[in-house]
Amino acid sequence: MDEAQVYLVTGGCGFIGEHIVELLSKQDYVSEVRVFDVAANEEVKKFTTATTHVTVMKGDIRDYKLLLAAMQGVHVVIHTAATVDYRNTVPFWEMKAVNVGGTENVLRACCFLSIPYIVYTSSVAAVGPNSQRDPMLRGTEDTKYSGEVELPYGKTKAMAEKLVLEANGRKLSNGGKLATCIIRPNTVYGEKETVLKHLYLHVKAKNGVLNYLEPEDSERNSTYVGNVAWMHVLAARSLSLQPDLLAGQVYYAYDDTPTKKSFLVRYQLLFGMDPAIRLGSHVPYWKMWSLIHIYRIIKTLLSPFWKLHPFLDLSLLNTIATTFSYETDKAFRHFGYKPLYSWEESKFRTIEWLKSAIGN
């Protein structure tokens, strides 16, 4: 195999994508990291090194011609580009066009250009919780879980996953075969997580009290963005070296961030930033359910005159209030993944970034 590999990262200017680009640029087997992103933030060019060049190309994955041009000469694709919407503020058809139609374009382009390896960034939302709010407690990649996915965003990721898995083994134009694998993160935190920054500002406006919606006994995985990115880098490399092992596989993203009482992760991050932050109390499900329905009525009545700010969506409330956790070492067994950063290191790096972001 030619060691001077060209990697393409779709969505490489995004939260996870930028961290993937940074880590790829440090690998001696990568000669170029090509970023294809609708935002096309030139800032990622700073990751260029003496041996690895970072190229930024502006484009939307729904534009097949632009995508083809960006993928010329590429050896491996890490496909992270997506419309991420948990509050159901983006029309479903629009989110589907990006997350499903865009993924279809990436797969089609790989087959046409004979690019043999794709790592797809999915989400645990593609699995559940389902609309019945059935919990999953410390499942694995082999855990059987069925039912209609609750979040509209999750529905689109499940559709895209299906496309990626069905494309595995598909014939390329040069006669070779396409090898695909999937990584499913859950809640991802770390530097440049705008949700955390907005949460801090919201909490400060509420007298520094952080209330939470998760039940006290809830479990949910959170993973530091640097570790999620590292898993992508290792999986992409191993997929090209050991396609028979990784092709067609799905991997949950994990590290040693605590899963029990997952709301405490947010609290520790905000408290580390500002010791004046206090942990409040659990907001009962029925109370938020009632507020959501009252808000819907008010929004409907006022819609001809006034567009209200987005509020918590019922599907998101159901997701937050349902235990959905996994426990696995599959990525370690298949390609030697170990987190680059411990929980303490991840927490420190996130807090330092948050201090800088709020300060600015």
For 256-291, how does the pLDDT look when each residue is reduced to its tens digit (9 = 90+)?
999 999 899 999 999 999 999 999 999 999 999 999
153, 189, 212, 252: the active-site residue: 153
* Regions in the chain scoring below 50 on pLDDT: 1
| DSSP calls for 96-138 | HIIIIIHHHHHHHHHHHHT--EEEEE--GGGT--BTT---EEE
Other C-beta atoms lying within 10 Å of the C-beta of residue 140: 12
326 is catalytic: no
Convert the pLDDT of each residue in 207-226 to its tens digit: 999 999 999 999 999 999 99
CA 217 – CA 135 distance, rounded (Å): 12
The dihedral sign for the CA sequence 49, 226, 44, 11: positive
The pTM of the whole model exceeds 0.85: yes
Instruction: Determine the pLDDT at residue 335.
Output: 97
Instruction: Determine the pLDDT at residue 301.
Output: 87
Sorted by where each starts, the structural domains of the chain and their CATH numbers stand as: 5-193+221-257+324-341 (3.40.50.720)
Backbone angles phi, psi at 98, to 5 degrees: -80, -55
Amino acid, res. 304: P
**Does residue 150 sit in helix, strand or coil?**
coil
Instruction: Determine the pLDDT at residue 360.
Output: 61
CB 56 within 8 A of CB 37: yes
Amino acid, res. 137: L
CA 296 – CA 313 distance, rounded (Å): 9
The dihedral sign for the CA sequence 49, 50, 54, 55: positive
The CA-atom distances, in angstroms, between 207 and each of 132, 153, 200, 201, 284 are 35, 32, 11, 10, 20
- Check residue 309 and report its DSSP letter: P
Closest of 9, 18, 7 to residue 225, by C-alpha = 18
CB 139 within 8 A of CB 326: yes
Amino acid, res. 93: W
223 Cβ neighbours under 8 A, 6+ residues apart: 185, 186, 187, 188, 189, 253, 254, 255, 257
Nearest 10 degrees: CA dihedral of 102, 307, 295, 213?
A: 50
Query: 152: cis peptide before it, omega within 30°?
Result: no
Closest of 187, 253, 197, 188 to residue 219, by C-alpha = 187
Instruction: Determine the pLDDT at residue 38.
Output: 93
